[in-house]
């Protein structure tokens, strides 16, 4: 059984995908890029774009009744790995002292020309649903 998760805080999906999908005790999010609720790219560098991508990820998790502490794995896609340190500082603040497993991948390009995209897999705590 799968359940579609949609956040009212985010711009509608711009393609044939869902903000997130729950199956069993896992929630898989789509990649979150730094766009605001109207679908506009956030102006600024990697720090501002990482903050917005993580705010969007937080909104998707919240729509599924979860939070950052429920995330078990993320994948971060970056167009410029020389900016990794700055992205990592913002990422570390979002996930705190108990961060999930993570892969970071350098890519040639991302939608709308953004610098970063972040997707996650979260685990629903036992007894929560």
- pLDDT per position as a tens digit, 45-71: 999 999 999 999 999 999 999 999 999
Residue 72 DSSP SS3: strand
- pLDDT per position as a tens digit, 78-100: 999 999 999 999 999 999 999 99
Nearest alpha-carbon partner for 111 in 85, 86, 77, 87:
77
H or E, element range at 50: helix 46-63
Task: Give the residue carrying structure tokens 């805080």.
Answer: 9
Burial of 11 (0-12, 13-18, 19+ CB in 10 A): middle
Q: Catalogue all structural domains in the chain, each as residue range(s) with its CATH number.
A: 2-123 (3.30.1330.40)
Burial of 30 (0-12, 13-18, 19+ CB in 10 A): buried
């Amino acid at each position: 059984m799968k359940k579609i998760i949609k956040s009212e805080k985010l711009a509608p999906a711009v393609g044939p995908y869902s903000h997130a999908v729950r199956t069993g005790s896992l929630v898989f999010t789509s990649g979150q890029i730094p766009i605001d609720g109207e679908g506009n790219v956030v102006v600024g560098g990697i720090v501002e774009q990482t903050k917005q991508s993580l705010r969007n990820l937080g909104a998707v998790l919240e729509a599924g009744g979860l939070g950052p502490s429920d995330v078990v794995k993320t994948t971060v896609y970056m167009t410029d790995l020389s900016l990794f340190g700055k992205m990592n500082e913002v990422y570390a603040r979002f996930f705190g002292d108990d961060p999930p497993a993570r892969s970071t991948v350098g890519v040639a390009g991302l939608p709308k020309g953004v610098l970063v995209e972040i997707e996650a897999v979260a685990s629903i705590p036992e007894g929560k649903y």
